[in-house]
């Protein structure tokens, strides 16, 4: 339609009409581009808000997981210390108390990582959608730090080999990890450090403790376990604090 009008006006040498036709064409193109840019900008804003919300949710769960790890391994460390004192002959405790602590000293905990959003953003080159600089720095530092505790510790292996399956299963059932509610910080306190009874007979407990005492590798490996857990605990505590501070800063930026 426009082309026919331009051709007609050129033949008639109506230059004003020709100029008006071109103005209409260019104005239409300009408006179309502006609308397209506006639409792209709105789409980018929506994506940015969505990924920021998802990343914040993941980071909150990471904060919870890290604090759960701090609480958990504090309990493990407490019982490792109790078991070591008994096995080194520095204190006296019942066979049942020793077995509970020795078992708990061998426990580990590995909650799943919540990093789906971060991996999606980095793998697609879309990390620039996260516009909050504090949030960007917090998640990059957290997910790239890469500290891992050796879940297959030598003490854990030695304990598992030294104690019968029956005894281990019974202790796990009656004195193992308590359940917690994801996201509820009150439920991760004393996951392992609580009063319990194994239900095992004195004869079975005596045989189990005698087996531990007879294994010359148990005490040295328990010492190593304690040192490793102390290092891990310090690192996890620092990571948990960094995430919480980052989250508070991000929320403050948006208020």
Q: Which residues contact 50 (CB under 8 A, 6 or more apart)?
A: none
The backbone torsions φ and ψ at residue 198, rounded to the nearest 5 degrees and listed phi first, read -80, -30
pLDDT tens digits, residue range 10-34? 455 555 555 655 566 665 666 666 6
Is there a domain that residue 80 lies in?
A: yes
pLDDT tens digits, residue range 74-84? 999 999 999 99
Ordered alpha helix ranges (H), the chain: 2-11, 15-87, 95-105, 116-123, 133-145, 154-162, 165-175, 202-214, 218-254
Give residue 244's pLDDT. Answer: 72
Is there a domain that residue 144 lies in?
A: yes
Is there a domain that residue 99 lies in?
A: yes
pLDDT tens digits, residue range 132-158? 888 888 888 888 865 555 566 899 999
Decide if 118 contacts 139 (C-beta within 8 A).
yes
Is there a domain that residue 245 lies in?
A: yes
Give residue 137's pLDDT. Answer: 86
pLDDT tens digits, residue range 179-238? 999 889 999 999 999 999 999 999 999 999 999 999 999 999 999 999 988 887 777 777
Is there a domain that residue 161 lies in?
A: yes
Domain count, the chain: 1
Decide if 134 contacts 249 (C-beta within 8 A).
yes
Is there a domain that residue 182 lies in?
A: yes
Spatial CA neighbour of 156 closest among 226, 78, 82 = 226
Is there a domain that residue 218 lies in?
A: yes
Mean pLDDT of 42-56: 88
Domain that holds residue 83: 58-254
Q: Find the angle CA(85)-CA(91)-CA(92) to the nearest 5 degrees.
A: 120
Is there a domain that residue 236 lies in?
A: yes
Give residue 24's pLDDT. Answer: 63
């Amino acid at each position: 339609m426009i082309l026919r009008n331009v051709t007609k006006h050129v033949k008639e040498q109506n230059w004003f009409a020709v100029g008006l036709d071109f103005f209409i064409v260019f104005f239409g193109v300009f408006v179309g581009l502006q609308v397209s840019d506006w639409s792209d900008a709105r789409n980018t804003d929506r994506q940015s808000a969505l990924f920021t919300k998802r990343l914040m949710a993941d980071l909150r769960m990471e904060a919870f997981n890290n604090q759960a790890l701090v609480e958990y391994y504090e309990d493990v460390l407490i019982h490792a210390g109790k078991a070591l004192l008994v096995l080194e002959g520095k204190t006296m405790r019942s066979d049942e108390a020793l077995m509970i602590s020795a078992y708990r000293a061998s426990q580990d905990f590995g909650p799943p990582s919540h990093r789906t959003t971060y991996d999606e953003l980095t793998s697609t080159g879309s990390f620039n959608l996260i516009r909050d600089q504090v949030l960007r720095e917090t998640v990059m530092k957290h997910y790239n730090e890469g500290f891992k505790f050796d879940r297959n510790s030598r003490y854990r292996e030695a304990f598992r080999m030294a104690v019968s399956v029956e005894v281990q299963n019974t202790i796990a059932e009656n004195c193992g990890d308590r359940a917690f509610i994801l996201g509820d910080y009150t439920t991760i306190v004393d996951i392992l450090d609580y009063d319990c009874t194994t239900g095992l007979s004195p004869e079975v407990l005596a045989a189990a403790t005698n087996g531990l005492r007879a294994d010359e590798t148990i005490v040295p490996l328990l010492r190593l376990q304690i040192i490793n857990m102390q290092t891990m605990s310090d690192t996890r505590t620092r990571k948990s604090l960094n995430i919480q501070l980052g989250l508070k800063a991000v929320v403050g930026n948006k208020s």
